[in-house]
Amino acid sequence: MREAKRIFLTAEWRDLAMLNYEAQPASLAGYVPPGTTLDSFEGKTYVSLVGFCFSRTRLWGKIALPLHTEFEEVNLRFYVRRRQGSEKRRGVCFIAEIVPKRAIAWTARLVYGENYRRFPMEHRVAQNGLGKMAEYGWRVGDRSCRLFVHAGDEPGYPQEGSLEQFISEHYWGYSKQRSGGSLEYRVAHAPWRVAVGASSGFEGDAKTTYGAAFAEILRGKPDSAFLAEGSSVEVFAGERIG
């Protein structure tokens, strides 16, 4: 019961389009929060561009802000780990997160110190036989960006030890704080069913959003891509570490 009182946000995350790119560890070194180390899968370091839909969003488990319960998010993230006693915690860090609502961006910056930005956004999700497609886009001035994943098969739980499991099953978040140290917060959700993308990619110039180095990574072909169904989630209040 005591932990339940510390839940900051409840929501549903649905139709996650996840593009995964191998990246050089040096390109991420400056973003790693104190107290954590870069994580890797089979010796490779990854960044992921992720678009998804927020739904039924509530603060402190009960407060629904008018016109702010349903919206898109796109984030660029990478993966870290931290040992807490005998526990190995695998977590996510964000280069930047995009939402279409100013209040959402402001709240996330204030509470977690995350690099949230507000841009006009749109998305499209459609069933296609057994498969499904999801596209997420945003605009910066007169420039537009879009990521998409088209999956041709029904989703299933990822194989144990697979890249899809590594990418989708992280239950901690870490953010580097401007005042020093890091913030650690737990993200609770059921494992997600996923469908590997038959076609996928990113279109547009992401330099303004993510900087030249990451824009160059996104111009390449994803090393893997899949759609995750998503689930209900609970995001807990953060605690300072480091």
The answer to whether domain 4-235 has CATH 3.30.70.380 is: no
C-beta separation of 230 from 13 below 8 A: yes
Residues 6+ apart with CB under 8 A from 180: 34, 242
- Sequential pLDDT tens for the chain (242 residues): 345 458 888 999 999 999 999 999 999 999 999 999 999 999 999 999 999 999 998 876 666 665 567 899 999 999 999 999 899 999 999 999 999 988 878 887 887 878 889 999 999 999 988 889 999 999 998 899 999 999 989 999 999 999 999 999 999 999 999 888 999 999 999 999 999 999 999 999 899 899 999 999 999 999 999 999 999 999 999 999 97
Count Cα atoms within 13 angstroms, Cβ side, for 151: 28
Please give the model's pTM, rounded to 2 decimal places.
0.93
Residue with tokens 């991420």: 28
Per-domain residue ranges of the chain: 4-235
The strand pair at 172-176 and 87-99 is best described as: parallel
- In angstroms, rounded to a whole number, what is the distance separating the alpha carbons of residues 50 and 136? 9
| Cβ atoms within 10 Å, residue 30 | 7
Q: In which residue are the tokens 């996923």 written?
A: 194
Give me the numbers of helices (H) and strands (E) for the chain, helices first please. 4, 14
Tell me how far apart the terminal alpha carbons of the chain are, to the nearest angstrom. Answer: 27
Give the residue from 125, 151, 150, 137 showing the smallest Cα distance to 204. Answer: 137
Reduced to 3 states (helix: H, G, I; strand: E, B; else coil), residue 106 is helix
Give the chain's radius of gyration (CA, Å): 17
